[in-house]
Chain A
Amino acid sequence: MSTKELKERIELLQGTLDLLVLRTLLLGPVHGHAIAKAIEFKSDEVLQVEQGSLYPALHRLIKRQWISVQEGVSENNRRAKFYRLTAKGRRQLALETSKWDKLAGAIARVLRPAKQGGKS
């Protein structure tokens, strides 16, 4: 599927999939396949997500009540499950995002003297 070379793909860090899913849902309710597509597309297909691993993540988020699920009809008129960010999930996303920024910034500062740049 991916048009990028294999070596440029990066395995997802532990736990970051949840964050990406929440971020994707910020734009509005979507179904599972669309979430996977969105993450792939937005990351320039650098992030290698085994699509199956999305489902345990979705269920984890539902259990924590950060997202909710509702039946709906997809763009091609098929029944599908739509996942929607809850208020709790929104707060969590803000929290996790700032945490992530701090982490990324800190790591970047540590790495900068040795090596400039790198994909965000």
Chain B
Amino acid sequence: MSRRKRMLEELDQDIRDHIERETQDNIDRGMPTEEARYAAMRKFGNVTRVKEDTREVWSFVWLEQLWQDIHFGLRMLRKSPGFAAVAILTLALGIGANTAIFSLIDAVMLRSLPVEKPSELVLLKWSARNAPNIHGYMTAGDCPTDLRPGAANPSGCSFSEPLFREVAQANVFSATAAFATSGRLNLTGNGPATVINGQLVSGDFFRTMGLKASAGRLFDPADDTPSAAPVAVLNYGYWQSAFGGSRDVVGHTIELNSVPFTIIGIAEQRFTGITPGSDYDVWLPLSDAQRMTDPMRWQNRSGDASNWWLTIIGRLKPGTQVARAQAVVSGLFRNETLHGSVPLFHAGDPVGPPMPGQGAPAGGGVQFRREMLSGGAPAPAGGKGPTVVPAPSQSGGNKPFILPAPQGAPPADRQSAPEMSSGPKTLSTVADSPQVTLVPAQTGLTGARTRYSNPLYVLMLAVGIILMIACANVAGLILARAAARQKEMAVRLALGAGRARVVRQLLTESVMLSVLGGMLGILFAYWGAHAIISFVSSNQTRPLGFATGVDLRVLGFTVAISLLTGILFGIAPTFRSARVDLTPALKEGERSAPSSGHAGGKWFSIGNALVVTQVALAIVVLVGAGLLVRTLQNLRSIDVGFDSHNVLIFGIDPTQIGYKGPQVDAFYRDLQGRLSEIPGVKSASYSMGPLLSGGLMITMFHWPGSPQDQSSEADTLPVGPNFFETLHIPFLSGRGFSASDFKLSASNSEATPTSAPTPVIVNQAFVEKYLGKEYPLGKRFGQSARDANGPASPGYEIIGLVRDAKYSDLRREIHPMMYMPQSAGGASFELRTAADPQSILPAVREVIAQVNANLPLFDVKTESEQIDRLLFQERLVARLSGFFGLLALVLACVGLYGLLSYEVSRRTREIGIRMALGARPESVLKLVLRQGVMLAIIGAAVGIGVALGVTRYLASMLYNVHANDPVTMIAVAILLMLVALAACYVPARRAMRVDPMVALRYE
């Protein structure tokens, strides 16, 4: 440094000496003094540049110039604070919105699995031509599953335990793990009884994942044997919240469904479950499933090859090819399913006629039975197979995004633990070709991702467009400024500044803008992400199973976007500025420079094009937002068929603490009586699940008169006494269930049903579809004779007809539905209250504690909250897209405003002349407005054209509104025109007030 300083200090003197010597030489040669000096200077060249070049040799010059540029840039920005503020704010909003949404996408979609070397983990997936002939299938929604009745090419990722043991022993993988949800567990032994979520895992699970214990130890294979003492590993977060993070917990005993478990350790903090979005409180060894009371028929599952309930993950051995491992596993799978004692798949030989299915004598199709989601208890057994289609449930209460999936193939919620049993399937003469593929666990384990992905991508598109608008906006601003600064640039070039130097100066300025915008944007992103997360969290009782926050990768993404933006929009105008033709720019007044000459005209129209683009893009976002908001409105204004106000609902499951059969019904009846005596409760009832919870049960039966091999179906909900009165579902004819109806239903669900049909109450849709004009009351259907699959079933008899009501979710059409008297199983209570339902909650808890202190309530909420949660995704998307739509609108109009303001100030002299020549202020106003309104109209037209083309991609998220809904389009266009008019009006007024004298004197 000091050497550099010394060298440079003397440079001036050196140069002066040099020129003096040269002058002297010239004089010696006989030149006049003046001329000699000139010649010497000419010969020497540009002194400033020589100095600069010399300084550059000492290399800090680059930094020095950067510093100068920044200094100068800051000064320029301070000189035009309006421009700077608008540009920085615009960028910050664009970048902030993108970063916030990208943070969410990163957390939900991209983050790698929370385990060691996730790339080595593979998930086993089976596929075949036809559904397997199995009697149990359970999935917790870890991967997409398709097992609809009669579905072609079904697939899934649940396997039997024998297959898992075979794969584990085959030594294909360096480690193999299997897991399944344990469903809801009733925990006692740590304060008041609570309900927690558990996962059953094989002994090798944690070793396969490469996880370590935060305290104590994790499972080893010895824990996963029938003779081992029951042990449990806690989730770190759950340990913190429920046990205060105390290390003494290790060795402590808790009771799960009345079975004592010893806590042996706490898992790593980062691990809340292998599947994205999953959050289990506790992990238990697979072998302990049978020890607990058996709401999901775990008994005998371990040795049963036709009960598929385990998700299997393998860790590839280093250097093993996936194809080789896949061939081995697929071979094991085919061997077991095709050549086992009972073939589960069809190997390809011709078969006889279809056999009648269980409970649906003539129904040839695959029969499903899924547990009612919130209850977790088996549906009434014995002949009639009520079928619960795997509908995503929010029974756990912590799933914010409930995607009302198409009936049949949705990702079942992890707590829902739906179980399917199938009778003999329709036989085919084609081989089923069952096979297993190994997919990377990272992409195969989709979990909650599938539910989050659609809205997130829509939002990402919206914020992407906003970033484009922001860039166009800033580009327009910089263009206008570059035009205004043409004279300055010409002066700099004329004074000998290198063109590269000028370009660099301008680039520095625009990059500076984007860096400032980026920094502010990070702040916005932080707020935005927090706002979204707190909105999401407000919807659930437990924290989101995704870690979120603005992390380093996202920060890098933001910085890249902001810099790229700066360079992109900085570069075009800078090249133009540096190419300024000096003479005309210097000669003409600053104000008139841009409008004269080709360059001005050309760039002026590019400014217009930018504004049109912004308006068009804003229209696209607004139309999308409008459609989503209308979808939400439509869903909100649906007539659900019952009165959802002032209803408190909560789940309770006495079967988890050992109540059985008639005890359960007696318990409910007792509780119902006590609850309805609480002051403020008008009436109380219960059903197997609450209405509009996402859960759904379907019964398949034979309708008299239809072909023997055809089965009919109806949505089914077992309900308690007074259900219709409590929910205000009016009877159209017939009567409600009596005490004897309940007794009959209970005995019909025993192993040997009576001969009397189960009484059912049906809805209007049922009558419409199956009865037409026939008188419904007394109609019997669904009888079946005894056969190989079960005892005879007495079928059902219609005793009442009620008004249509929505069942599982709002979007689903009202299907034919039958209500039957509930017996056994878990239940959800509904209390009709006189005032705010929340206010009676303490009294409710007290009543239940009096009956049994070990029974926790779960999913406590009001029916309105339930609906809100059901609409959570729609609300989130509508709110965010609405916000982004308005943001786009504002940004586009700021762009319009900026362009017009610039135009007005540029044309001040012209306007002055017009007014001096007698133009009225109104005509000047019109002059400016006309340009703005024309741009807005063109932009709106283009935008609507684009929107017509792209909104169909939103179609799957819409309800009761067409993707090209004209009302939305027109409303959006009108809104935009109004805001655009306001944006034009300000500069137009300024133009109108131009004082001709001032304007003309100005130059």
Q: Which residues of B contact A52 (CB under 8 A)?
A: 15, 44-47, 49-50
Does A62 reach chain B (CB closer than 8 Å)?
A: yes
Bitwise, B256-284 to A at CB < 8 A (1) or not (0) is 00000000000000000000000000000
Question: Given A32, A50, A59, A62, which contacts B18 in the complex, CB threshold below 8 Å?
Answer: A32
Beta-carbon contact of B14 and A32 below 8 Å: yes
B residues whose Cβ falls under 8 Å from a Cβ of A:
7, 10-11, 14-15, 17-18, 21-22, 25-26, 39, 43-47, 49-50, 53-54, 56-58
Q: Which residues of B contact A33 (CB under 8 A)?
A: 17-18, 21-22
Q: Which residues of A contact B15 (CB under 8 A)?
A: 52, 55
* A104 to B49 alpha-carbon distance, docked (Å): 31
Beta-carbon contact of B47 and A56 below 8 Å: no
Beta-carbon contact of B53 and A56 below 8 Å: yes
Interface residue ranges of A23-37 to B (CB < 8 Å): 32-33, 36-37
Does A115 reach chain B (CB closer than 8 Å)?
A: no
Q: Which residues of A contact B39 (CB under 8 A)?
A: 1
Chain A, residue nearest B46 (CB): A52
Q: Which residues of B contact A37 (CB under 8 A)?
A: 25
Question: Given B14, B26, B47, B56, which contacts A81 in the complex, CB threshold below 8 Å?
Answer: B14
* A22 to B14 alpha-carbon distance, docked (Å): 19
Q: Which residues of B contact A1 (CB under 8 A)?
A: 26, 39, 43
Q: Which residues of B contact A32 (CB under 8 A)?
A: 14, 17-18
Given A1-B26, A55-B14, A80-B17: A50 in contact with B43 (beta carbons within 8 A): yes
Chain B, residue nearest A79 (CB): B17
Does A4 reach chain B (CB closer than 8 Å)?
A: no
Chain B, residue nearest A35 (CB): B18
- List 17 additional contacts besides A52-B44, A55-B50, A81-B10; criterion CB under 8 Å: A1-B43, A32-B14, A32-B18, A33-B18, A33-B21, A33-B22, A37-B25, A50-B45, A51-B45, A52-B15, A52-B45, A53-B50, A53-B53, A55-B14, A55-B53, A56-B57, A59-B7
Q: Report the interface size for chain A: residues with CB under 8 A from the other chain.
A: 18
Interface residue ranges of A55-71 to B (CB < 8 Å): 55-56, 59-60, 62-63
Q: Which residues of B contact A59 (CB under 8 A)?
A: 7, 54, 57-58
Q: Which residues of A contact B56 (CB under 8 A)?
A: 56
Beta-carbon contact of B50 and A60 below 8 Å: no
* A71 to B54 alpha-carbon distance, docked (Å): 19
Can you offer 11 A-B residue contacts whose CB atoms are under 8 A? A33-B17, A50-B44, A51-B45, A52-B15, A52-B46, A52-B49, A52-B50, A53-B45, A55-B15, A56-B50, A80-B17
Question: Given A36, A50, A62, A78, which contacts B17 in the complex, CB threshold below 8 Å?
Answer: A78
Chain A, residue nearest B50 (CB): A52
Q: Which residues of A contact B26 (CB under 8 A)?
A: 1
Chain A, residue nearest B17 (CB): A80
Min CB–CB distance A34 → chain B (angstroms): 8
Q: Which residues of B contact A78 (CB under 8 A)?
A: 17
Q: Which residues of A contact B18 (CB under 8 A)?
A: 32-33, 36, 51
**Which of A36, A37, A52 neighbours the largest number of chain B CB atoms within 10 Å of its CB?**
A52
Given A59-B54, A62-B7: A51 in contact with B22 (beta carbons within 8 A): yes
Min CB–CB distance A31 → chain B (angstroms): 8
* A55 to B7 alpha-carbon distance, docked (Å): 11
Min CB–CB distance A74 → chain B (angstroms): 8
Chain B, residue nearest A40 (CB): B43
**Which of B43, B46, B47 neighbours the largest number of chain A CB atoms within 10 Å of its CB?**
B43
Q: Which residues of B contact A62 (CB under 8 A)?
A: 7
* A113 to B21 alpha-carbon distance, docked (Å): 45
Q: Which residues of A contact B54 (CB under 8 A)?
A: 55-56, 59
Q: Which residues of B contact A50 (CB under 8 A)?
A: 43-45
Please name the 10 residue pairs, one residue from A and one from B, whose CB atoms are nearest each other, closest first: A52-B50, A52-B45, A50-B45, A56-B53, A33-B21, A59-B57, A56-B54, A52-B44, A51-B44, A33-B18
Given A60-B57, A62-B7: A51 in contact with B14 (beta carbons within 8 A): no
Q: Which residues of A contact B50 (CB under 8 A)?
A: 52-53, 55-56
Interface residue ranges of A1-55 to B (CB < 8 Å): 1, 32-33, 36-37, 50-53, 55
**Which of B7, B15, B44, B56 neighbours the largest number of chain A CB atoms within 10 Å of its CB?**
B44
* A80 to B17 alpha-carbon distance, docked (Å): 8
Min CB–CB distance A15 → chain B (angstroms): 14
Min CB–CB distance A62 → chain B (angstroms): 7
Min CB–CB distance A98 → chain B (angstroms): 26
Q: Which residues of A contact B58 (CB under 8 A)?
A: 59, 63
Min CB–CB distance A2 → chain B (angstroms): 9
Min CB–CB distance A60 → chain B (angstroms): 5
* A62 to B26 alpha-carbon distance, docked (Å): 29
* A60 to B15 alpha-carbon distance, docked (Å): 16
Min CB–CB distance A82 → chain B (angstroms): 12
Min CB–CB distance B690 → chain A (angstroms): 81
Chain A, residue nearest B11 (CB): A55
Q: Which residues of A contact B49 (CB under 8 A)?
A: 52
Min CB–CB distance B10 → chain A (angstroms): 7
Q: Which residues of A contact B17 (CB under 8 A)?
A: 32-33, 78, 80
Question: Given B10, B22, B57, which contacts A63 in the complex, CB threshold below 8 Å?
Answer: B57
Q: Which residues of A contact B45 (CB under 8 A)?
A: 50-53
* A70 to B847 alpha-carbon distance, docked (Å): 102
Q: Which residues of A contact B14 (CB under 8 A)?
A: 32, 55, 81
Chain B, residue nearest A61 (CB): B57
* A53 to B14 alpha-carbon distance, docked (Å): 13
* A104 to B387 alpha-carbon distance, docked (Å): 92
Min CB–CB distance B41 → chain A (angstroms): 10
Min CB–CB distance B831 → chain A (angstroms): 87
* A63 to B53 alpha-carbon distance, docked (Å): 14
**Which of A56, A60, A62 neighbours the largest number of chain B CB atoms within 10 Å of its CB?**
A56
* A63 to B39 alpha-carbon distance, docked (Å): 31
**Which of B15, B50, B56, B58 neighbours the largest number of chain A CB atoms within 10 Å of its CB?**
B50
* A115 to B194 alpha-carbon distance, docked (Å): 99
Min CB–CB distance A16 → chain B (angstroms): 16
Min CB–CB distance B425 → chain A (angstroms): 82
* A28 to B45 alpha-carbon distance, docked (Å): 27
Q: Which residues of B contact A81 (CB under 8 A)?
A: 10, 14
Min CB–CB distance A38 → chain B (angstroms): 13
Given A33-B17, A33-B18: A51 in contact with B43 (beta carbons within 8 A): yes
Min CB–CB distance B296 → chain A (angstroms): 80
Chain A, residue nearest B42 (CB): A1
* A35 to B53 alpha-carbon distance, docked (Å): 19
Min CB–CB distance A20 → chain B (angstroms): 17
Min CB–CB distance B695 → chain A (angstroms): 79
Q: Which residues of B contact A55 (CB under 8 A)?
A: 11, 14-15, 50, 53-54
Min CB–CB distance A37 → chain B (angstroms): 8
* A36 to B14 alpha-carbon distance, docked (Å): 13
* A97 to B10 alpha-carbon distance, docked (Å): 31
Chain B, residue nearest A34 (CB): B21
* A30 to B22 alpha-carbon distance, docked (Å): 15
* A59 to B10 alpha-carbon distance, docked (Å): 12
Min CB–CB distance B40 → chain A (angstroms): 8
Q: Which residues of B contact A56 (CB under 8 A)?
A: 50, 53-54, 56-57
Chain A, residue nearest B21 (CB): A33
Min CB–CB distance A30 → chain B (angstroms): 12
Chain A, residue nearest B39 (CB): A1
Min CB–CB distance B776 → chain A (angstroms): 99
* A55 to B17 alpha-carbon distance, docked (Å): 12
* A81 to B25 alpha-carbon distance, docked (Å): 19
Q: Which residues of A contact B25 (CB under 8 A)?
A: 37
Min CB–CB distance B16 → chain A (angstroms): 11
Interface residue ranges of A64-112 to B (CB < 8 Å): 78, 80-81
Q: Which residues of A contact B43 (CB under 8 A)?
A: 1, 50-51
